[in-house]
A and B are shown apart, each in its own frame.
Chain A
Amino acid sequence: MNDVFRFKIAIQTMKNSWKITIIVSLLFMVMAAMYAGMFPQFEESLLEMMESGFGDSFNYFPHADQMATYIGFLTIELYAIFWLLILAIILGFISASSITKEIEGKTIDLLMSNPVSRKQIVFEKFIGLIPMVLIVNFATMIAVIGITAAINESLNLGYLLLVHLISIPYFLAVISIGILISTFLDEKMKASITMIAILVGMYILYSMSLMSSGNEFLGYISINKYFDPFDVLKYGDVDIGGVFVYIIIITVCLILSMLYFEHRDIEVT
């Protein structure tokens, strides 16, 4: 048992990803600062636009009618697209290639010659990606706090923290789906593209579910349904059930990944 909890593969995964962690963190800090910083310039024209009813044509974006408020602007410009979709794609891309990369590159052969179980490899790869999520997440939060102060807007910091706390299970769910795909496929590119297709597909389904009430059921199979940054940021309104959905996704994906990876053949590719 002693060997199992030493997390050496997880630590190596972290070491391997520190560069990309810094790059993605900086990218999102800049992105957050840029979008939030743009708000004062756009505020007036946005107000006019809203009054003219232009916002109605964007109703597939959640809370498009709030575009002219700082929270609405921040949610739509930063959280709805860049955070929940683009960052999910980046993290999904990385996680979906985590094990596939070793199979395709044949480094898995040597890794598996060590006294480590296959389940342990899967689990530690997942654990090893958690610091990346945390660092990107809180670095972006700090950037949002900084820029909000700089442009004299106000945000409830408690609610902002809440958004970034709920982001953790959301992104871990994304990563666990990526890990599951990476245990199934042998080619890095295929795995990453499959992952992106799943994330974009879920995002589109969720958007469709917002467009008309007849499509509402489509939203339930999308991870985007269970986390609404606007409600959290504006009202501190947390979808507890949604957080549970993420925890269930993480658990199920990890168990399936471990079981599948344990029983598959590792062939010479």
Chain B
Amino acid sequence: MNVIETNNLTKYYGKIKGVENLTFSVKRGEIFGFLGPNGAGKTTTIRTLLGYLYPTRGTATIFGKNIIEKNVEIKKEVAYIPGDLNIYGHLTGKQFLDYFASLRNREMVLFDELLDIFEVPLQRKVKGYSKGMKQKLGIIQAFMDDPEMVIMDEPTSGLDPLLQQKFYDFILKQKKRGRTMFFSSHVLAEVDKICDRIGIIRNGELIALEDVDTLKHKRGKKIRVKIKEKPELFKGPKDSKIKDGWIEFIASDSIDSWIKKLSKFTIIDLEINDFSLEDIFIHYYEGQT
């Protein structure tokens, strides 16, 4: 079953394009990475899905419910961590969470678990919180009543690497329990690590929608090799490059034939890597102004 389904979702701010003709779906129980550089339309997409912005054209449903007509019902099962997170400064962390718990009006089943992972000074006023503490509080409020889906707009910004790891572990655990995550980011490493599928958005348009594994597989392996002989003597594929004495090329099918060819040379150093998402990303963004 699809949790999110959009059909030609379009948002214009007057004449300025926010996003155009987005058609994609997010499946139940997956972590969907929504990738794109700053200003590509990630936040516009999220705000439209949540009903903060009215679509200019097109439709979308969440859990089969229309995002405009059934907005309140949808929010019973969907939580949100905004990118530019702002929390009432005059409340203490506890007062804020109590307030939101009262608005959700159901049991905060994950509250204790979350508080163990993401410690925050509950008795202190939020205006005294650091950026990281606020981010943790934002995570706690989103997950505390164990919603079916959490939409996150660059949720790891402001978290130190240790906390980022704890956060990844936590959402992977949530995924195992059947929860869905919609995750926008421009940090490739994290998407690479945790997402099942990604959508790439550029200039307001969706330019790729793929499984992370297929995407990597499709792109083959990256081979870098240094030989004692002149690098020019080795005949690689057309797009192979020579850089600082290293021969660099991509093996799109099997690496076996290349290794056999290389065996005729004296190899000083050899690296074989998966094509990283970053390489794919750069590939997709090539030509963007």
Which residues of chain A have C-beta atoms less than 8 A from B51's C-beta? Answer: 112
Interface secondary structure of A, over-half rule:
loop
State in angstroms the CA–CA spacing of A114 and B51 once bound together. 12
State in angstroms the CA–CA spacing of A107 and B91 once bound together. 12
Q: Is B6 an interface residue (CB 8 A)?
A: no
* Residue pair B82, A6 in contact (C-beta under 8 Å): no
Which residues of chain A have C-beta atoms less than 8 A from B76's C-beta? Answer: 115
Known interface pairs A6-B105, A8-B102, A266-B47; A110-B72 also in contact (CB < 8 Å) = no
- Whole-angstrom distance from the CB of A116 to the nearest CB of chain B? 6
- Whole-angstrom distance from the CB of B76 to the nearest CB of chain A? 4
Q: Contact check: which of A3, A105, A265, A266 meets B105 at CB < 8 Å?
A: A3
* Residue pair A115, B72 in contact (C-beta under 8 Å): yes
Q: Is A9 an interface residue (CB 8 A)?
A: yes
- Residue-wise, chain A 1-22 has the 8 Å CB interface mask toward B (1 for contact) of 0010010110010001000000
State in angstroms the CA–CA spacing of A170 and B250 once bound together. 77
- Whole-angstrom distance from the CB of A106 to the nearest CB of chain B? 4
* Residue pair A114, B100 in contact (C-beta under 8 Å): yes
How many residues of B are in contact with the other chain, CB < 8 A? 32
Q: Which residue in chain B gives the minimum CB-CB distance to A8?
A: B102
* Residue pair B103, A114 in contact (C-beta under 8 Å): yes
* Residue pair B103, A9 in contact (C-beta under 8 Å): yes
- Residue-wise, chain B 71-93 has the 8 Å CB interface mask toward A (1 for contact) of 11101101110101111101000
Q: Is A149 an interface residue (CB 8 A)?
A: no
- Residue-wise, chain A 97-132 has the 8 Å CB interface mask toward B (1 for contact) of 000000001110110111111000000000000000
Q: Hey, which bits of chain A sit against chain B, CB under 8 A? A: 3, 6, 8-9, 12, 16, 105-107, 109-110, 112-117, 263, 265-268
Nearest 5 Cβ contacts at the A-B interface: A113-B80, A106-B86, A114-B103, A115-B75, A266-B52
Given contacts A112-B52, A115-B76, 4 further A-B contacts (CB under 8 A): A106-B86, A110-B85, A265-B52, A265-B54
* 13 A/B residue pairs, CB under 8 Å, sorted by A: A6-B105, A106-B82, A107-B86, A107-B88, A112-B52, A112-B75, A113-B50, A113-B78, A113-B80, A115-B103, A116-B75, A117-B71, A267-B47
Q: Hey, which bits of chain B sit against chain A, CB under 8 A? A: 13, 43, 47, 50-54, 71-73, 75-76, 78-80, 82, 84-88, 90, 99-100, 102-105, 138, 141-142
